[in-house]
Chain A
Amino acid sequence: MSYLCVESISKRFSNIIAVENVTFNVEKGNFISLLGPSGCGKTTTLRMIAGFELPDEGRIILNEKDITSLPPNKRNIGMVFQSYALFPNLTAYENIAYGLRIRKLPARFIKEKVDSLLDLIKLTNVKDHYPYQLSGGQQQRVALARALAIEPDVLLLDEPLSALDAKIRVVLREEIRELQKKLKITTVYVTHDQEEALSMADLVVVMNQGRIEQIGTPWEIYNNPKSAFVANFVGQLNSLKGKVIDTREGIIEVNTVPIRSIPSSILTANSELDFMCRPENVKILTRDEKEVNTFEGKVIKVIFAGSIIRFLVEWNSYNLYIDTFNQRVIDIPREGERIRFSIPPEALVPLR
């Protein structure tokens, strides 16, 4: 049995279904991310694990104990909130010590523990500051240390970085993941930011309208999305409508243009399917390069994003996104120019 088991939980708020039949397992020491747009039920799911909401149906098992209806203060689950939720009347030090004082632990132990945590989050120099004297990033680090101080069985994070600047977000993202690995703490992380989920988690649970769309490693979620929703939500996407012509060879037809894809059991004769193709998998070709599925299109937009250059290319009544790395030696095609590109067969992923 897994360490944390969420077993077909559902939650309704006055006739609005917030969470419907959600099931997933987290192994001990793993980092799992609940990913989805706002209102998809990810936060409600997290709050049910924390004990702030009671599921209408289903069970939550932690370490082989049913904790479904246990009050939040009896669960030993640490939580980090989007709004930090530091106690304004307490200093950084006292905020971290709070849970230990509630447990009436010996003063010496508390001091050692809090000092080591302050050291871990590199904020010893501001330990006597009140929350209002700390920056957002510092506040969230203190909140993290406060949740870790009680040595929780599970650490829950509810969009902890969404109130921070982009730069600090990336720094803290790495810090959190590093701490989590170091302390081997089982973590559930809620976010609507796909980059955050993909870069941090061992396992990603993509949710939509209260239900789970797909569970998988970041690699699986990104490269083999099971549904159009997942494909669209995670990363940029070109979506093509294709008619299967040859099941053995994997030939499909997009607006009468034949394209070769990888044969699979999903491709049944004459069926119409949605195919996705990631912009970075489409390859821009030089004048005389020859590849499978080579086409020509007109560049209608060039978006320069530093390390990556994104082209919007008109082809076969579709507007395709094509990404390429910014290599300073190559000539960047300009708007209005015609370019040659290829869609490798393995880049075309059929969606159910």
Chain B
Amino acid sequence: MAKVKGISILEILILFFFITYLLLPILAIIIFSISDTWGVGDPLPRSFTLKWYINSFMNKDLLISIGRSMFISFISVIIGLIIILPTAYIVRCNLRSLEPLVRFFTLFPYVLPGVILALGLIQIYSKPPFPIAGTIYILLFAYIAISLPFMYFVISNSLQSIDVKTLTEASQSLGAGMIDTFFRVIIPNITPGIINASLLTFAGLLGEYTLVNLLLGARFKTLQVYLYTAMNTEGHTASVLTVIYFIMVSIVSFVVIRVVRGIIGEKKEIPVLK
């Protein structure tokens, strides 16, 4: 078979179709978001405009909901990490026999349908000690709950990739307590896993619609609620929002990865000396 730089034509074709399949919808959305007139039967718009973007950015409501979405997703991820990291570490290190049980429990919010989860959350949080139903805080609790399983799985998998128990023992024998060990040894060695878990959870929460809608309705618009409303009224705005959403997630991923690399330092490749 013909080869181009060691790759066969067939492989290039497969790759081409795969990428096209993934990129085409995004491309269509981007084009639609800057199209002015796009008649039936036209392969491409007749004229382009940025007015949908300008309109969107002039809309204070929209900007607030974007900020709100980012804020609540961010806080949920941070609280989720604070809960999951020590839990996963302790389970992995000292309570390994409990691991299947913990996995089972963390799966709970995952397997419950959104409606049931929402109803349960409203019931619990409408009376003391947490009378927060109808406020944005209930969303925070809901988001933390639904992000736990995924975070736990990603982080406990990263913990499995290092010898947590022996590293902990080594650290202890050198005089470190659990807290020193946790921050100086464990966290730096599972940073890629933490980044993965955070980014994917963050992106997932940004795109969450069911729970917001059920728990808060139109009281607190998040980006997704806004998007949903826009889809029913104005297709162009919906495309604009999707593009914004896409760019937001990309920027956050990029920034987090860069920042973390700066902190843990890039490992230079040095040939192994014998």
- Is A99 within 8 A of B163, CB to CB? no
Complex Cα gap A79–B169 (Å): 9
| Residues in chain A near residue B171, CB distance under 8 A | 87, 98
CB distance from A272 to the nearest CB of B (A): 49
Binds B, one of A17-25, A109-117, A126-134, A284-292: A126-134
- Is B174 within 8 A of A98, CB to CB? yes
Query: With an 8 A cutoff between CB atoms, is A4 at the interface?
Result: no
Give residues of chain B (130-146) contacting chain A, Cβ–Cβ below 8 Å. none
Name the CB-closest residue of B to A81.
B166
- Is A79 within 8 A of B173, CB to CB? yes
| Residues in chain A near residue B167, CB distance under 8 A | 85, 87
Query: With an 8 A cutoff between CB atoms, is B204 at the interface?
Result: no
Residue of A51, A102, A135 near B174 (CB, 8 A) is A102
Q: A133-B272, A133-B273, A146-B174 are in contact. List 5 more A-B contacts (CB 8 A).
A: A72-B169, A78-B174, A87-B170, A87-B185, A88-B189
Complex Cα gap A146–B174 (Å): 8
- Is B273 within 8 A of A83, CB to CB? no
CB distance from A296 to the nearest CB of B (A): 52
A73-114 Cβ-contact flags toward B at 8 Å (1 or 0): 111111101010111110000000011001100000000000
Contacts A72-B173, A79-B170; A89 near B264 (Cβ below 8 A): yes
| Residues in chain A near residue B162, CB distance under 8 A | 88
CB distance from B262 to the nearest CB of A (A): 15
A132-144 Cβ-contact flags toward B at 8 Å (1 or 0): 0111001000010
- Is B172 within 8 A of A83, CB to CB? no
| Residues in chain A near residue B163, CB distance under 8 A | 83, 85
| Residues in chain B near residue A130, CB distance under 8 A | 267
Complex Cα gap A78–B264 (Å): 27
Query: With an 8 A cutoff between CB atoms, is A150 at the interface?
Result: yes
Residue count of chain B within 8 Å CB distance of chain A: 25
Query: With an 8 A cutoff between CB atoms, is A215 at the interface?
Result: no
| Residues in chain A near residue B177, CB distance under 8 A | 73
Contacts A87-B189, A89-B188; A99 near B174 (Cβ below 8 A): yes
Residue of B170, B264, B274 near A81 (CB, 8 A) is B170
Query: With an 8 A cutoff between CB atoms, is B13 at the interface?
Result: no
Complex Cα gap A135–B270 (Å): 13
CB distance from B271 to the nearest CB of A (A): 8
Contacts A83-B166, A87-B167; A73 near B173 (Cβ below 8 A): yes
Contacts A73-B177, A76-B175; A52 near B169 (Cβ below 8 A): yes
Give the interface residue-count category, chain A. 35 or more
| Residues in chain B near residue A147, CB distance under 8 A | 173-174
Name the CB-closest residue of B to A134.
B272
Name the CB-closest residue of A to B176.
A102
Complex Cα gap A299–B173 (Å): 54
Query: With an 8 A cutoff between CB atoms, is A256 at the interface?
Result: no
- Is A89 within 8 A of B185, CB to CB? yes
| Residues in chain B near residue A133, CB distance under 8 A | 270-273
Query: With an 8 A cutoff between CB atoms, is B234 at the interface?
Result: no
| Residues in chain B near residue A52, CB distance under 8 A | 169, 172
Query: With an 8 A cutoff between CB atoms, is A317 at the interface?
Result: no
Query: With an 8 A cutoff between CB atoms, is A327 at the interface?
Result: no
Complex Cα gap A50–B166 (Å): 13
- Is B173 within 8 A of A77, CB to CB? yes
Residue of B175, B189, B271 near A89 (CB, 8 A) is B189
Give 13 CB contacts A-B under 8 Å. A52-B172, A71-B172, A77-B173, A79-B169, A81-B166, A83-B163, A98-B171, A102-B174, A133-B273, A134-B272, A135-B272, A135-B274, A146-B170
| Residues in chain B near residue A129, CB distance under 8 A | 270, 273
| Residues in chain B near residue A103, CB distance under 8 A | 175
Complex Cα gap A293–B36 (Å): 112
Complex Cα gap A50–B264 (Å): 31
Give residues of chain A (318-342) contacting chain B, Cβ–Cβ below 8 Å. none
| Residues in chain A near residue B175, CB distance under 8 A | 73-74, 76, 99, 102-103, 150
Residue of A85, A99, A128, A150 near B166 (CB, 8 A) is A85
| Residues in chain A near residue B188, CB distance under 8 A | 89
Give residues of chain B (238-274) contacting chain A, Cβ–Cβ below 8 Å. 264, 267, 270-274
Complex Cα gap A180–B180 (Å): 29
CB distance from A160 to the nearest CB of B (A): 13
| Residues in chain A near residue B184, CB distance under 8 A | 87, 98, 102
- Is B272 within 8 A of A73, CB to CB? no
Query: With an 8 A cutoff between CB atoms, is A125 at the interface?
Result: yes
Complex Cα gap A275–B274 (Å): 48
Give residues of chain A (119-171) contacting chain B, Cβ–Cβ below 8 Å. 125-126, 128-130, 133-135, 138, 143, 146-147, 150, 156
CB distance from B60 to the nearest CB of A (A): 45
| Residues in chain B near residue A135, CB distance under 8 A | 272-274
Name the CB-closest residue of A to B188.
A89
| Residues in chain A near residue B270, CB distance under 8 A | 128-129, 133
Complex Cα gap A83–B267 (Å): 22
| Residues in chain B near residue A51, CB distance under 8 A | 172
| Residues in chain A near residue B273, CB distance under 8 A | 125-126, 129, 133-135, 138
- Is A78 within 8 A of B176, CB to CB? no
Complex Cα gap A147–B272 (Å): 23
